[in-house]
Amino acid sequence: MNTEFDALLQNGTWNLVPKPSNANLVGCKWVYRIKSKANGDIDRFKARLVAKGFHQQEGVDFSETFSLVVKPTTVRLVLSLAVSHGWPLRQIDVQNAFLHGYLHEDVYIAQPPGFIHSQFPNHVCKLEKSLYALCQAPRAWLSCLTDKLQSIGFISSQTDHSLFVYHQGSTLIYFLIYVDDIIITGSDIGSINRVITLLQGDFAVKDMGELSFFLNIEALRTDNGLYLSQRRYILDLLMRSKMDKAKPCLTPMSTSLPLSKFVGVAFHDPSLYRSIVGGLQYLSFTRPDIAFAIHKVSKFMHNPMEMHWEAVKHILCYLKHTISHSLLIQPTASVTLQTFSDANWASDLDDRRSIGAYGVYLGNNLVS
């Protein structure tokens, strides 16, 4: 906590001022987290001061918002290009990323718990820079980072605003952003190192080296290509759903169990259902084999029944059986896009609509 508080002061995050009579005061709190390594060992203990953004009022202390979340398709596409060309894959982490963004609104927060100024206990903090959990914090950080990248020569992609591209002569660099986790790859390792050095001049950038673990995804590079696995994430899902002792099964769905929103008994814990199904949706990043099953159970998030929960447990049992499965991104000489699509015919029991599906390949690699 002391380290985090000192970093906030050194960063010039706020000025201590008397509370204006018409100010909307936003609360704050400390959040604690254990950061783990790829093998599950404890890396470090972390404390972070976050604002209670739900105290903010739209039009008063925030306006536009935006979240820096790169699309999974973009990640798979860029990784496919990197593996095919033999490019290095580097990962960097920006420490206290959201604290770098400048605010254009007047935002006042209470003094941090445990760090009340002894001489000015009734003063409040007028924010000069953004703070975690503020509604506009991701947008402010993106604006700050975008200005820096554009000064280096990067251009933002029009199809995914979390992807930046540098192209000068024979040098090509891709810059992927997921909040404060960043993947860099490109044709020239020297240019990548220069970009990282330039960023370190403005931000607290930690060079994580070769890509190995990002967004709860393990990355293992071999002669065959790049294996992407969410084994640890599956274990967490099994623990959260209390299915870690369940018997494994061979298929993700039962073909003899038709699902309908009008039949069955209501599930006793809808929040658990939504939490687990939401986790399964993220798992499809590296597990396209469960995409259809996840689609089916996602249709009942608003009012899950017992039979829907049984279908979710079936998926979890299948994941336990296939926990070591990975998505392989292999070198491919072809950069041709191929799309395969299909649809059934009015198979939905409730509305008789058709269900469509597609798979997009770049060469031999499934990217969407």
Q: What is the pLDDT of residues 150-184, one digit of tens each?
A: 999 999 999 998 999 999 999 999 999 988 889 99
Which contiguous run of DSSP H or E holds residue 292?
helix 291-298
Residue 139, both tokens? 């947008």
Same structural domain, 293 and 345: no
Same structural domain, 277 and 302: yes
Structure confidence at residue 219 as a pLDDT band (50, 70, 90): very high
Same structural domain, 15 and 135: yes
Q: What is the pLDDT of residues 69-124, one digit of tens each?
A: 899 999 999 999 999 999 999 999 888 888 888 888 889 999 999 999 999 999 99
In a domain, 224, yes or no: no
Last residue of a domain, one of 159, 193, 215: 215
Same structural domain, 237 and 336: no
Determine what percent of the chain is predicted with pLDDT higher than 70. 99
Strands 171-178 and 163-168: antiparallel
Last residue of a domain, one of 215, 246, 267: 215
Could you tell me if 312 and 259 are in contact, meaning their C-beta atoms sit under 8 angstroms apart?
no
Q: What is the pLDDT of residues 330-356, one digit of tens each?
A: 999 888 999 999 998 887 778 888 888
In a domain, 222, yes or no: no
Q: Residue 242, Cβ neighbours under 10 Å: how many?
A: 11
Last residue of a domain, one of 215, 237, 268: 215
Question: Could you give the number of structural domains in the chain?
Answer: 3
- Please identify which residue in the block is written with the tokens 């499934």: 366
Q: Residue 321, Cβ neighbours under 10 Å: how many?
A: 15
Domain of 347? 332-366
**Is 36's pLDDT higher than 80?**
no
In a domain, 179, yes or no: yes
pLDDT at residue 255, rounded to an integer: 77
The amino acid that residue 65 corresponds to is T
Same structural domain, 47 and 119: yes
In a domain, 221, yes or no: no
